[in-house]
Amino acid sequence: MLSSFEIPEKRYSCEPISSGYIHATYRVTSGNTPLYILQKFNASVFPDSETVYQNFLSLSANLISSEYSQYHWIPTKEGTAFIEDQNKDLWRLLSFVPNSHNLESIKLKSQAFECGRVLGIFHRLLSTADPCSFKEPIKDFHDLTFRLHEFENALKTGLSERVQKMHSLIDDINLLAAYLSKKPTSIPIRVCHNDTKLSNILFDKNSQQGLCLVDLDTVGPGFFYYDFGDMARSIIGNKSEDNYTEIRADMNLDLLDAMLCGIKASKLILGKEEIESLSYGLVLLPFLHGIRALTDYVQGDKYYQMSFPDENLQRAINLIEFSKLTFEKRDSIQDRISEVGLRII
C-alpha cells in the first residue's frame, strides 16, 4: 500500500490508532519516528471525496502562517489523492506533524488556553476566506432540524427493542430541542472546522504549545458557535463521550475561562451576536452528537465505528446529559463568556 505513495522507499511499520468513529487510521513510523498517517477513507460517510480533497487544498492555502502548523496530503505516484484497493476502498496518506501529540483529557488551565488559542488562530487566518468557496462535504452536517428529522424517522422505522431502551431520554430531548429551536440570529457564516473536539487538537510534545487542528474532512461553511461548542464540550466535561462508568456529568468552568482567554489571546475578532451565541453552541453541539449517536443506535449501528457493545447508546446518554447540564447553567456560562471580554468588531 505505502509503495503506491510518493514517499522515500524505507522500512515502515504501521499501527492502528483506535480513536475516531469514521475512518480506519494507522500511524506509520520509521524507526521510532512517526512520519505519516495512513487512512482507509470512509466513502459511505463522505461520498464526495473530491470535495474533501479540494476543501483541504483551499484550507491549507489560507492557513500558511508561522503561528500555525500544517500537515500535507501526500499524492500517490500517479498524482492522485487516493489509491483504490481491490475491494474498491479508498486510502490516503497524510504527513505526521513532527513532535506532536494529542490529549485524552484536559488537566491544566494552560492546556485549555492553548486549545482556545489554536481555535482562535484557525478562525482568524480564515476570516478573509470566502465560505462559499468551500462545499459542504456532508450536507446539513450540524443542522438541528435535519438531525431531529432523521431521529424521528429512526424512531418510526428503527429496531423497536432499541427504541424501548432509549425511552428514558425522550423528556430531556424534548426539553433541549425546544430551547435549541430558537436559533441565534445575525450570525455570519465562516469557514468552520466542524469537528473541533479535543482529540483533533495537536500539541507540541516538548513545549506543550497548541500547534493546529487536524481531521479536516468536515471543513465547510458554518457558524463560529459550532466550533466553539464542540471544542468546549470536549474540554470542560468531566468525562469523555464514550465513558461507560456511572459518574454524573459535571463541568469545570475554570477551564472554560482558560479556553476563552486563549481565544482572546489569538486576536480573533468576533461579532457581538457571535459572542452572545456561544453558550447556545455549548448546548447545541453535545445535543447534536447525542441525537446522531442515538439515531445510529436505533438504526442498528450502521454509521459510527464501535469499540464496545451499545457504545452509541452510552455516547448518547453522556452527550445528552452534558447538553442538559450546559442548558441548566447557560446563564452563568454566558456571564463568564462576557467577563472575558473577547474582541468585538
In the complex, the residues that contact ligand GN1 under the rule CB under 6 A are 20-22, 45, 195, 197, 215, 218, 241, 289
Q: Least separation, in Å, of the C-beta of 80 and ligand GN1?
A: 22
Task: Return left, alpha or beta for 136; rule: phi > 0 is left, psi -120 to 50 is alpha, else beta.
Answer: beta
| DSSP assigned state of 192 | E
CB of 21 to ligand GN1, least distance (A): 4
Stretch that binds Mg ion, among 207-215, 231-239, 266-274, 309-317 (CB under 5 A): 207-215
Q: Report the b/e string of 100-133 with b at 16+ CB within 10 A.
A: beebeebeebebbbbbbbbbbbbbbbbeebeeee
Closest contact distance (angstroms) between CB of 123 and ligand GN1 is: 18
> Cβ closer to Mg ion: 81 or 173?
81
Q: How far apart are CA 328 and CA 90, in angstroms?
A: 44
- Shortest reach from residue 262's CB to ligand GN1, in Å: 21
Is the CB of 67 or the CB of 89 nearer to Mg ion? Answer: 89
Contact partner at residue 241 from Mg ion, ligand GN1, none, CB < 5 to 8 Å by partner kind: ligand GN1
Measure the CA angle with vertex 314, ends 221 and 328; round to 5°. Answer: 65
Q: 20 or 184: whose CB is closer to ligand GN1?
A: 20
The binder of Mg ion chosen from 5, 28, 51, 195 (CB under 5 A):
195
Question: Which one of Mg ion, ligand GN1, none interacts with residue 197, CB within 5 to 8 A by kind?
Answer: ligand GN1
For residues 139 and 229, give the distance between their C-alpha atoms in angstroms, rounded to a whole number.
20
Q: Which residue is nearest to ligand GN1 (CB)?
A: 22
Q: How far is the CB of 8 from ligand GN1 (least distance, A)?
A: 29
* Residues 5, 13: Cα–Cα separation, whole Å: 15
Q: Which residue's CB is nearer to ligand GN1, number 215 or number 257?
A: 215
Q: Does 215 bind Mg ion (CB under 5 A)?
A: yes
Give 82's Cβ-side CA count (13 Å radius).
18
Shortest Cβ 102–ligand GN1 spacing (Å): 12
Backbone φ/ψ region at 97: left (φ over 0), alpha (ψ -120 to 50), beta: beta
C-alpha atoms less than 13 angstroms from C-alpha of 239 in its C-beta half-sphere: 20
By a kind-dependent CB cut-off of 5 to 8 A, residue 227 interacts, out of ligand GN1, Mg ion, none, with none
